[in-house]
Amino acid sequence: MTIKRVGVVGSGIMGSGIAEVAAKAGFEVVLRSRQKSSADRMVAGLEKSLAKQVDKGKLDAGERDAALGRVRAVTDLSELAECDLVIESIVEDLATKKHLFNELDRICGDDTILATNTSTLPVVELAMESRPEKVCGVHFFNPAPMMPLVEIVRAITTSDETIDAARGFAEACGKNPVLVQDQAGFIVNALLFPYLNNAVKLFDAGVATRDDIDAAMKGGCNFPMGPLELLDLVGLDTSLAILEALYAEFKDPNYAPAPLLRRMVSAERLGRKTSEGFYDYHR
């Protein structure tokens, strides 16, 4: 199938980032948020992001204007009815996502592919709420405009046609898609989060300071960020949810969330999003 119009549901960083990627690639984008104020903020954020790229010489003004002209922000879910592909990027809560997929199945045309940007939750659970053969995972990484990888997740119900279309969309966006079966964590998070979790345990045990743990992994493994810095960027609440989902599926002790991580989430020290996590971002 040919994808021309893409719907994006979600007003967070990932939703606006996916919308930017798709618009720059030439797709018409319908960006849906529940409230007009948040929809307007997303468009303003998109304008700011594209303006920075023009200032840095990565984009010319004509390309910026063309990309912005392809984006339409809406609040009514029914505005997604004519989309060829809809990608949800809402809160990582299975019940909330299932309700959305049920609504999208009712609203969208029979040929519309429904995709989830979930990083961990079971895609098949969403597929069974709607059109099983036309649901897949299209997992972008943060920040979506910069990160080259997209995980294309095949649920047990997903058709080859759906996977081919999703992969083609990712490639058209200039991304490098990898195909993965539907299991918790997919590829990246299944490998990444035991490492992040163990870094929290080392820090909590007093094996090394926060700064030395991060410096060791940057200097010893050539990673661009240390594990505690990365947890702050991802969000400690999101990280805890991912670890809980991984542990629920595999019961591997490496996935059991570090107690300190739970305590920090309880204290609402969630990282950059609250300006305080392992690091202080108030300054």
pLDDT of residue 34: 87
| Alpha-carbon separation of residue 48 from 41, 170, 227, 253 (angstroms) | 10, 24, 29, 43
pLDDT of residue 12: 83
pLDDT of residue 220: 98
Active-site option among 117, 189, 197, 239:
189
Superfamily name and number for 188-274? N-(1-d-carboxylethyl)-l-norvaline Dehydrogenase; domain 2 (1.10.1040.10)
The Cα 279–Cα 267 span in angstroms is 14
Superfamily name and number for 5-181? NAD(P)-binding Rossmann-like Domain (3.40.50.720)
For each of the chain's 283 residues, which pLDDT tens digit applies? Answer: 789 999 999 988 899 999 999 999 999 999 999 888 888 888 888 889 999 999 999 889 999 999 999 999 999 999 999 999 999 999 888 999 999 999 999 999 999 999 999 988 999 999 999 999 999 999 999 889 999 999 999 999 999 999 999 999 999 999 999 999 999 999 999 999 999 999 999 999 999 999 999 999 999 999 999 999 999 999 999 999 999 999 999 999 999 999 999 999 999 999 999 999 999 998 7
Active-site option among 129, 139, 197, 229:
139
CATH 1.10.1040.10 domain locations along the chain: 188-274
pLDDT tens track for 66-81: 999 999 999 999 999 9
The Cα 6–Cα 82 span in angstroms is 9
Clarify whether 38 is annotated catalytic: no
Q: Say how many C-beta atoms besides its own lie within 10 A of residue 210's C-beta.
A: 15
12: burial class by Cβ within 10 Å (0-12, 13-18, 19+)? Answer: middle
Active-site option among 20, 92, 151, 229:
151
pLDDT of residue 39: 83
CATH 3.40.50.720 domain locations along the chain: 5-181
| Alpha-carbon separation of residue 132 from 25, 123, 128, 203 (angstroms) | 28, 10, 5, 43
For 96: left if phi > 0, alpha if psi spans -120 to 50, otherwise beta; the answer is alpha
Instruction: Enter the pTM of the model.
Output: 0.91
Clarify whether 89 is annotated catalytic: no
Clarify whether 133 is annotated catalytic: no
| Alpha-carbon separation of residue 67 from 42, 71, 98 (angstroms) | 14, 7, 31
Clarify whether 198 is annotated catalytic: no
| Alpha-carbon separation of residue 251 from 121, 221, 224, 236, 255 (angstroms) | 15, 28, 30, 21, 7
Cα angle at 139 between 133 and 143, to 5 degrees?
155
Alpha helices in the chain (DSSP H): 13-24, 36-55, 61-69, 94-107, 123-127, 160-172, 188-204, 210-221, 227-234, 236-250, 259-266
Of 141, 158, 157, 132, the closest CA to residue 192 belongs to 141
pLDDT of residue 40: 83
Active-site option among 119, 130, 197, 239:
119
pLDDT of residue 20: 95
Helix (H, G, I), strand (E, B) or coil at 208: coil
Alpha helices in 70-187 (DSSP H): 94-107, 123-127, 160-172
- Six-digit token string for 80: 């997604």
pLDDT of residue 5: 97
Query: Which residues pair with residue 149 across a beta bridge?
Result: 176
